[in-house]
Amino acid sequence: MSNKETTLKEKFKLALTSTAKVISDDFELNSKSSDKKKQKEINQIEIEDLNNPSDFMRLRAETDSAALKKKFSNETIYRKNLPSNSSSRSLYNIAEKIRYEVLGGKMLKGIEKNFNENYVQIINRKRKDQLKTKEDVPVAEAFELYMLKNFHQIKLSPLTSRMLNFWEKDFEQSIEKHKKFLQENMEDQNNYSSRFSKILEEMDIFQSDEDDEKREENQDQGQDNPSNDDQNKDKEDNKEENNDQETQATLDADYNVDEFNLDEQLSDDEPDEQSSEQIVQKNIDNINLDYKIFTTQFDEITKAENLENANEATKLRKTLDQQLVGFQDVITKLANKLQRQLLAKQNRAWEFDLEEGLLDSSKLPRIIMDPYNSLSFKKEKDLDFKDTIVTLLIDNSGSMRGRPITIAAICADILSRTLERCSVKVEILGFTTKNWKGGQSREHWNKNSKPKTPGRLNDLRHIIYKGADTHWRQAKNNLGLMLKEGLLKENIDGEAISWAYNRIKKRKEERKILMVISDGAPVDDSTLSVNSGDFLEKHLKKMVKFIENKTEIEVLAIGIGHDVSRYYDKAIKITDVNELGDVMISELSSLFDTKKKFH
C-alpha cells in the first residue's frame, strides 16, 4: 500500500470520527489521555478499500448509524424491553436500529441521504440463486427489508420485493395495526420498543417454533411422567441458570452488533451517573409518598397532532395567525431584541484550515471531487454561550380560555422560532385533564365503594405540542390546537411539573430552563372534593422546591393575573395578557445573563 493511500485512509478515518462526534453530541470521543480508562473512543474503524464511491458511502452510513445509536438509543431501555422469545431478538435489534436511523434522517438531510444511498447499494448487490419457498429467505433478512420499506421509505428492487413477498403478509398481520403508533413514538424509545417487543412475542411465525421446542424439550425430560417432577425441577433450575448466561451473552452481542461501538468508558474516579439518578429518583419518590393517585390507567400523554385531524389543525393555525396580526410588530421587535442578545452572547470565533479539530464541512466538496485533497478542520476559539434547551410548560386549564391561551400560544410560537434561529432547542408542553368531574377515574372510584381520601381523582392529559428535536415548521400547526374547543379543562400542576422535569432531565444540553405559564393555583374539583383542600398545592410546592434546590434545572414561572410566587422562587405576575410576550422574552434574556449555581 502506498504512503499516499495510507494517508488518505487515515484522514478519512479522522473525518468519520469528527462526524461521529457531531452527530452523537459527544465531543470527547477519541480524546487523548494518559489514563486509558478515561479514553472515550470509537473502536478501530477498519478501512479496507477506498476504490470507489460506494466504499465512502458505506463507511459514512455505518458511522452515522453508530453515532445515532449513541445519541438516541438507551441500552437500559433496550435491555428492559428485550423479547423473552430468543427467535425474535434479532428482529427486535433491527427494529431499534431502524428507529434511531430514522430519527437521524429527520435531524439532518445529509444523514438521510447517506442511509438511502447505502441501503439502495446493499439492495442492488443482493443475489439469490433460487427463491421458491420461505425457507430460501431468512426471516431476519426479510424483516429488515420490511422495515426499510415501511419506516425508511426505501424503494426495493424486483429481487428484494420477491424476497419480502414470502414474509410480508406475516409481518403485516402483526404490525399493520400498530404501525401508526410506532411511527408516532419514534422519539420515545420505551413506548416504541415495548410495543415492538410485544408484537414480536405474539407473532405467529415464532409461536409455532417456540411451542415445538418446548414440546420436544418436555418429552426429552419425561415431563409427561409425574414421578419425575422433582428431578425435572432440578434440571430446569440448572438449565435456567445456563440459559440466563447464554441470554446475557446473546443480549450483549445483539446490542453491540454495530461495527463501531461508541459506548464510553468511565474511570473509577468519575461520578457514577446511574447512582446519582437513583438518589434523585429516591428524593422524588419521597415527595410522592404523601401524594396519592387513585389510578393512572386512564391518563394520557399525547402528541398534539393526535387531538385533531390535519384540516382542523390547519384552520386553528389560521385563527392563531389572525390573532397574531394585532401585535405582530411588538412581538417581532421583542423577538429580534432577544435574538440579537443571544447571538451576541454566543461569541463564536473559529480557526480554519487546521490539521485536527472538527471537520470543516464547507470544504468537503473538494474531497468528493478529488479524494486525494487534504481534509480541512476547524476549532472554536471561544464559546461562552452554553448548549441550551428551554421547555415551555403551558397551563391548559379552563380558566385560560380566550385571550390568555391565545397569547400563550402566540408567544410560544414566537419564542420557538426565535430561539431555534439561535441554536437553542425548545420543547412546548401543555397540561390539562381529559374530563371534567373526574372522568373515568371517578367512575372507577365510585364502582370500588368510594374509599376515603383516594388522592388525585381525574384523568390526566399531558400534551406534546413540539418536541425539542422537532423544527418549528413541522410543529407550527400543533400550536393552534391550544385554541381547540373543549380542550381546556382542569389543571393538576404538580404532576405536570414532574412530567416536564423527567423529560428535560434526560436531555444532553448543558443548560436547562423550564418556563411555566399558569394563571393560578392547581384546581381539580373531583380531587379536591374528596381530599384535603391543599392536597394539590402541597404536592406542587414540594415538586417545585425539589427541582429548584436539588437539580441543575432553572425554573421561571409567569402568572397570568395571579401571583404564583408562593410556588416558585423566580416568578413574575402580569396583569394584562398583552404583557406576556414582553415578560417572557425579557425574563428569558435575563436568565441567559446568569447561570444557576447548583450545589
Structural domains present in the chain: 3-255 (no CATH), 286-341+385-593 (3.40.50.410)
* 5: pLDDT strictly greater than 60: no
Which is more confidently placed, 325 or 508? 508
Residue 328 has pLDDT above 90, yes or no: no
Residues belonging to the chain: 599
- Rounded Cα–Cα distance for residues 162 and 137 (Å): 10
Whether residue 426 has pLDDT greater than 80: yes
The residue that leads in pLDDT, 162 or 326, is 162
pLDDT band at 281 (very low <50, low <70, confident <90, very high): low
pLDDT-wise least confident of 167-181, 367-381, 500-514: 367-381
Mean pLDDT of 481-500: 94
State the average pLDDT over residues 559-588: 80
Cα three-residue angle 48-49-55, rounded to 5 degrees: 115
Looking at the DSSP assignment, which residues form a beta bridge with residue 433?
Answer: 460
Q: Sort strands 388-395 and 460-466 into parallel, antiparallel or unpaired.
A: unpaired
Please give the average per-residue pLDDT across 268-291, as a whole number: 58
DSSP 418-452: HHHHTT-EEEEEEEEESSSTTHHHHHHHHHTT--S
Mean model confidence pLDDT for the chain: 76
The arithmetic mean of pLDDT across residues 457-486, rounded, is 92
What count of Cα atoms within 13 Å lies in the side-chain half-sphere of residue 328?
A: 7
- Measured CA to CA, the distance from residue 304 to residue 421 in angstroms comes to 23
Comparing 139 with 215, the larger pLDDT belongs to 139
CA distances from 168 to 99, 180, 348 (A): 19, 17, 52
pLDDT of residue 32: 41
| pLDDT score for 235 | 43
pLDDT 10s digits, 69-80 = 988 899 999 999
Q: 3-17, 18-32, 263-277 — which is least confidently predicted?
A: 263-277
The per-residue pLDDT for 451 is 92
DSSP assigned state of 397: B
Mean pLDDT of 550-563: 88
Average pLDDT for 228-233 = 42
pLDDT at residue 27 above 60? no
pLDDT bracket for residue 284 (50, 70, 90): low
pLDDT value of residue 324: 72
- The H or E element containing residue 277 is helix 273-287
* Per-residue model confidence (pLDDT) at position 320: 87
Residue 11 pLDDT greater than 80, yes or no: no
Q: Are 393 and 568 in contact (CB under 8 A)?
A: no
- What confidence score (pLDDT) does residue 387 get? 79
At residue 468, the pLDDT reads 92
pLDDT value at position 420? 82
Least confident range from 363-377, 445-459, 577-591: namely 363-377
Taking residues 278-282, what's their average pLDDT? 62
Q: Is the pLDDT of residue 583 over 90?
A: no
- Entry pTM: 0.50
**Lowest mean per-residue pLDDT among 124-133, 266-275, 308-317, 587-596:** 266-275
pLDDT band of residue 537 (cuts 50, 70, 90) is: very high
* DSSP conformation letters of 467-533: -TTS-HHHHHHHHHGGG-TT--B-B-HHHHHHHHHHHHTT---SEEEEEEEESSS-B-HHHHTSS-T
The confidence score (pLDDT) of residue 248 equals: 46
What percent of the chain clears pLDDT 70, i.e. is strictly above it? Answer: 64
What was the pLDDT predicted at 283? 65
Q: Which helix (H) or strand (E) holds 462?
A: strand 460-466
How far apart, in whole angstroms, are the C-alpha atoms of residue 478 and residue 467? 11
Contact 324, 410 (CB under 8 A): yes
Mean pLDDT of 47-71: 75
Mean pLDDT for the stretch of residues 344-362: 63
Closest C-alpha among 452, 184, 429, 458 to residue 297: 458
- What does the pLDDT average to over 260-287? 49
Contact partners, residue 239, CB within 8 Å, separation at least 6: none
Give the residue-averaged pLDDT of 422-426: 85
Q: What mean pLDDT comes out for the span 433-443?
A: 94
Residue 236 has pLDDT above 80, yes or no: no
Tell whether the model's pLDDT for residue 231 goes beyond 60. Answer: no
Is the pLDDT reported for residue 242 higher than 60?
A: no
Range ranked top by mean pLDDT from 12-21, 32-41, 343-352, 495-504: 495-504
Averaged over 214-234, what is the pLDDT? 42
